Structure 1
Amino acid sequence: SYGLKPIVELTSALKLEEPAANHNGGQLHFGVDGYMYLFTGDGGKAGDPFGTFGNAQNKSTFLGKVLRIDVDGRSSDGKPYRIPPDNPFVSDPKARPEVYAYGVRNMWRCAVDRGDPVTKKGRGRIFCGDVGQNRFEEVDVIVKGGNYGWRAKEGFECYDTRLCHNSSLDDILPIFAYGRSVGKSVTGGFVYRGCESPNLNGLYIFGDFMNGRLMALQEDEKRNKWQKQDICIGSTKTCAFPRMISSYSKFIISFAEDEAGELYFLSTSYPSAYAPHGSLYKFIDPARRAPPGKCKYKPIPVKTKSKRILFVPRASKLLETVLELLNEPSTTKPLKKTSTPTAATPAAASQKGKKTPSTKIKASTAKPAPSGKKRQKIKAEAKPHKPKQEEKVARLDRTTPASPLPKNKSSHLTRTKKLLPKKAALGKEKQERRKKGRLSSSS
């Protein structure tokens, strides 16, 4: 909602030096508090091997963190953002003031819960999927100042035993973690708060990038736990995993929700976030649908601070140019109708519905054709006078000359020529018979 220019300024001011090419994080969004949250990876490589405790546990670096900033205004040192005054480490001289939470490995997709449509319960919670090293994938709810354990822990278990048993770790456990028998790379999703599928309300729906598994977590408030459920897609034949993944593209790269809270997921047919092709799917519960007419919502207009730039695709510009050329009146006069179909078609199409000299000629030729000099005179009068230059243009426009008469012996013209002598011979025979008849009658 803040436009392109401030975001460009922000990214140029918040530069992260990454020691490796992987683990770049996977989210940037605004919370319900109006602040911007940025989720960064630990810097790459295996096991976060940087420094004494790794980048994720080092609060003086941006890597392996959840950052929180205020983009409305500038700081005293000239940065295009301010530090929220309630950030947890503002008063810590050894920490970056932008740090909101730490100890994360590579959070791939995070989402803000918009809360229950009626009670607003759960509103503002931030859910993230944090990709594991080689044993566990986890789902976390972000808490201010929280330490999520990496590299000391992976999921619920220790990864670096020396750090894991440190009493000062005080890490926050994930709400759910699963091993490599279930999946290999978590893709964080959303809490469903839509209207069309009431049974899904309150479920945190997410997936696994590598094996295409779709899962849901249902909160048990009494025990303060989340219970896992598999999502059934299609009929009972495709409901059991892994058979259900045959009904959609397998590699789930992201989730999304629309203004009404309806949920979608995006996937590709091969394992790459840079795939040029993919598919978008919508979650619908066929077991229970909302009553007709209930799910009505009005899109909320978003006020932007940047200037609006209208986008006109090149394809539409090309189409406009083609249409203009087609609508322009022809500068050359219509050609005479010839026996060639390709030469006659454009002239007939361009002069549709107009009175032209050719129509007058057709009307005059409908009468019995005169013979001799009279016929030549009518042709001369009907032919419009053209300058020499226009005649050259007309000749050039005629792309295909009239085809010559066929020379095949079986043609109609050759047959009529052969029949004429026979008719003449038959006439002579009749005359001779008549003469003989007259002579016999006189005698």
Structure 2
Amino acid sequence: MKVAKFGGSSVANAVQLQKVAEIIRSDANRKFVVVSAPGKRYSGDEKVTDILIQLGEAYKHGEEYTHYINKVMGRFKEIIEDLELSENILEDIRRTIEKVLEKDTSIELKLDSLKAVGEDSSAKILSGYLASLGENASYINPEEAGIIVSNEPGNAHILDESFSKIYSLREKDGIFVIPGFFGYTTEGELITFSRGGSDITGAIVAAGVQAELYENFTDVDSVYTVNPTLVDNPKEITTLTYREMRELSYAGFSVFHDEALIPAFEKGIPVCIKNTNNPHAPGTNIVAEKKESDKCVVGIASDTGFCSIYISKFLMNREVGFGRKLFQILEDEEVSFEHAPSGIDDMSIIIRESLLTPEKEKRVLDRMKNELKPEKIDIHRDLAMIMVVGEGLVSTIGIAQRATTAISSANVNIEMINQGSSEVSMMFGIESEGLQRGLQSLYTAFFE
């Protein structure tokens, strides 16, 4: 039994949905299908979810919003007509939107319900199309499927009680198409996961039905060793461990949100990333363990938009409670940190710049000066992080030397090194302007 999840590009139009149906029909084990909302059909196009968010924001601020409804309905009308499906599906989608707008509920719950229309409609259309081809296929709502979540609009978390309910779906016959991205609270309120939540739904369903494989169909043949937009023609990765994928996702790989696969990982279910447009390609397999290799580095990830707060104070290491007081300031200001490498008398706190507004930055720095009494405090902006990832990396001799040599040979200065906190990665902080040079040099050192 397999669970197959299809992303936004896979359900963007009728042609793509025909490919999806062919993939599902080619393997009787693909019994559970999870779908995203329609994505972009071409460069410059809009994702349906983005239009729904614009609709919600216009409604929230009392602005004209009917043209957003027309945009959404236009996208689905085109798909339904091209697939020669009943217009009843289109009317059902319109009624769903109208009911959400008319319902007497909080604006947060209303916005979540609007955002979910894209996935919900995709599932109804795909199940209808499969049925028109003679398949025993049906749409199943996440509440009926047993996807019970916490009451945190826009950031739902699955509840443990869900998995036994989802497992009971195994007893039913046919193909079940489930919309991704949202679940229901125990009180029956629709709540969405964080953005990219259809991947979360797919992993939850795979874990719940205890699938032999969770297939995640997207628009690339596999995961690549480095971002192909920054390095030309990078090599494909055939096999990754869960831990490697988590590290790569966290550090900027766009295939998955870094938390998306956790339900599948916890149940030990292997994941395969495949291409809807080239389904016979082997893809990238993500497994719990793999054989050791001489080339322990599997990928190099990167991300921009960081800053570093540097604090220096003589005998910092002997001051009991210094770290607690420092992180309490960040907690009070609701600022999460990414890394905190430290020495005897100094410490650097790596933070995403987007979390540090000018007002918040002033408050944080003022409190640190007044409460911690440092000799020096600086903030360094426009940093990029590069992460070298691979099982056994920390215990393999010479990896750090090869990495630092590659970065310096690209005439890039290393601002920060964090090695040892993870067994499968080492991280380098550099100026953003040197990111592409540093990545290219690292790729050459480890993969060419």
Bucket of the pairwise TM-score, normalised by the shorter protein: under 0.3
Which is bigger in relative contact order (C-alpha 8 A, separation at least 6)? 2
Q: TM-score, normalised by structure 2?
A: 0.22
- Whose radius of gyration is greater, 1 or 2? 1
